[in-house]
Amino acid sequence: TEAKPNPAHYAIAELDRLGRLDCVITQNVDNLHQKAGVPGDKVFELHGNMQWAVCLGCGRRYPFEQVKVRLDGGEEVPDCEVCHGILKPGAVFFGEALPQKVLEEATLRSRNCDLFIVIGSTLVVYPAAYMPTYAVNSKAKLVIINLSPTPMDRQANVLIRAKAGETMSKVIQRVKEEISG
């Protein structure tokens, strides 16, 4: 079965529609933020995205569905239509380097934000777990919404121990109330 966005994903997309979202920094590879409506150029996927296949030779990206058709048609190792390099899933595998440009931009955005919201993360996988530290060190406010403790809980300006979807739905209601006056 195909993964579907949850209420937290839709709430984040709604923040964007309301003009209150700079970006999303995620370790997830499932494309759910984009499916929920967050523009792709605002989603920094530190571990890549399984919706794509990437050429190891030239870096060209192909929709995974397009590659799947070739696999289903009997091709054992689909190659790049441009350079004939090997195609691999767009997610970062264990031991592989993270996409440097994405990591640099996520770090820059973290250092330049005024509010950093952690939603549904234990903050134990690095380098993503550094992002809230960069924000706090640059004087941003930190909000953590997570069921379990994180290493950043003491630095949080607001700490909410609740489900991400329910909490973010309430956040959207409050933001809309603030906007409408």
* Residues acting as catalytic residues: 47
Torsion of CA 113, 114, 115, 116, to 10 degrees: 30
Alpha carbons 157 and 67: distance in angstroms, whole number: 45
Alpha carbons 141 and 43: distance in angstroms, whole number: 21
47: its two tokens = 């571990």
Alpha carbons 131 and 101: distance in angstroms, whole number: 15
